Structures are given as structure tokens and as C-alpha cells.
């Protein structure tokens, strides 16, 4: 497995994965936004096949990590955990101390296993329940 980092460029591979996972599988309509233009994108590859992606960007007091997606064929193989670890390492290199994720509520336990802590009430994004989770690096 190999990861590539793209600063302020949304690579086609990341876009394709997000369309497969968030638009086609989960039904989100507002997948792409202006944050894609300022975020750092990470794409994970198995040989030459793009299999996972995420993005992050610096906010005032933390980094927001999101759009974490693994294609269906690679789920259950700890790819998501490896992707998050890559993002955390890159954020730490950039001086980040706190990471926030606006997690889908159904994925909360996955993030708790990665060392994140839940915080507060759930809210909705495009009708899907979400919750904020945080991790200190």
C-alpha cells in the first residue's frame, strides 16, 4: 500500500472514490465544495488502484479531517485505520495538535477505536446523523 498527498488539488482518484462511496452508495448530493480547493487530499493505492481517500485542512485551533472513504472491495481490511494514521502523521508534521472529525453516527465506533472521543449531541448533514469526535495528537 502506498499513499500520495495532494496539497490544494482534488485528484481525479479521490473524486472517483468519493462519488462511488458517498454519492452512489450513500446518496449524498452535496459531496464537493470549496473546501476541496484548500484542503490536503490523501489517496491510498494498492499497486496502481486507488482504494481510499480523505482530506484535511487547518482551522483556527485544530485540523478537520473528513471525506474518509474506502471502496467497498477493501473494507474490513483495516485500510481506513491505515488511512487515518497517514493523515494523523501528516497533520502532526504540520504542527497539528488536535484533529476533529464530523463522523457519520454509524461510523462513530470505528473512530473511537482509533483513539477519538465523542463530543456532544448528534446533528444532521443531508439527513444523515453525524457526531463530532476529537483526538489529541
Domains in the chain (CATH in brackets) are 2-136 (3.40.630.30)
The pTM (predicted TM-score) of the whole model is: 0.93
The pLDDT tens digits for 4-23 are: 999 989 999 999 999 999 99
Phi, psi dihedral angles at 108 (to 5 degrees): -55, -45
Per-residue pLDDT band for 119 (boundaries 50, 70, 90) equals confident
Per-residue pLDDT band for 28 (boundaries 50, 70, 90) equals confident
Location of C-alpha cell 478537520: 64
Per-residue pLDDT band for 121 (boundaries 50, 70, 90) equals confident
Amino acid at each position: 500500500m502506498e499513499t500520495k498527498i495532494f496539497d490544494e488539488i482534488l485528484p481525479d482518484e479521490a473524486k472517483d472514490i468519493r462519488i462511488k462511496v458517498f454519492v452512489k452508495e450513500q446518496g449524498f448530493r452535496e459531496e464537493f465544495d470549496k473546501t476541496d480547493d484548500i484542503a490536503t487530499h490523501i489517496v491510498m493505492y494498492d499497486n496502481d488502484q486507488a482504494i481510499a481517500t480523505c482530506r484535511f485542512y487547518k482551522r483556527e485551533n485544530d485540523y478537520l479531517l473528513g471525506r474518509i472513504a474506502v471502496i467497498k472491495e477493501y473494507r474490513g481490511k483495516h485500510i481506513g485505520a491505515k488511512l487515518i494514521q497517514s493523515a494523523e502523521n501528516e497533520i502532526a508534521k504540520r504542527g497539528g495538535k488536535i484533529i476533529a472529525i464530523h463522523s457519520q453516527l454509524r461510523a462513530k465506533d470505528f473512530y473511537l477505536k482509533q483513539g477519538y472521543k465523542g463530543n456532544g449531541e448528534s446533528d444532521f448533514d443531508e439527513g444523515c446523523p453525524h457526531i463530532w469526535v476529537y483526538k489529541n495528537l
